[in-house]
Amino acid sequence: MVRKTLLVIALVIGLPILLLTLTIGARGCQWMGKAVDTVAKEVDPANLLRKYEWFKDAAAQLDKKRADIDVYQARLTQMEKDYEGTPRKDWDRTDKQQMSVWQSEVAGVKASYNALAAEYNAQMAKINWRFCNRGQLPKGAENPLPREYAPYI
């Protein structure tokens, strides 16, 4: 009788503990499986190439925007030199309008540059690049991608 009572108590206490342990173990295995799948997806060569190409394209766009800003600045500087010593109210009307257009356009390009630079920097900060820092650059590449772009001031 005592043995049956002990057996019942052991089953009543032991069975829930066993089920809880198995459940926790299964959840842990499921979590580890998801972690492995995520890492495998993130370091997949096709995914890494897609990310690299995005950074390469964004860097090229940022370089183009900086060159565009330099062109606009040169135009603005030249027009200011052409009218040096002349008050702006005495400038030719079309030149005043053109100057205003160029100033608006350069402000827009600067804003666009800053937005793309912020996105580039945010994306670069999200990625752990340590595993990419080994070996040589790909054939044809001369410089590594910048790790950060400063906003245009």
Q: What pLDDT digit, counting tens, does each position of 17-60 carry?
A: 878 887 888 777 777 777 777 766 777 788 878 888 888 899 89
Give the residue numbers spanning the domain of 77. Answer: 44-132+141-153
- Axis crossing angle, helix 93-126 with helix 45-82, rounded to the nearest 10: 160
Q: Are 86 and 42 in contact (CB under 8 A)?
A: no
Q: Write the pLDDT tens digit of every residue in 44-101.
A: 788 878 888 888 899 899 999 999 999 999 999 999 999 999 998 999 999 999 999 9
Q: Is the pLDDT of residue 130 over 90?
A: no
Provide the domain count of the chain: 1
Q: Evaluate whether residue 68 is within a structural domain.
A: yes
How many helices and strands, by DSSP H and E, does the chain display?
A: 3, 0
Q: Evaluate whether residue 72 is within a structural domain.
A: yes
Q: Evaluate whether residue 9 is within a structural domain.
A: no
Q: What is the pLDDT at residue 139?
A: 62
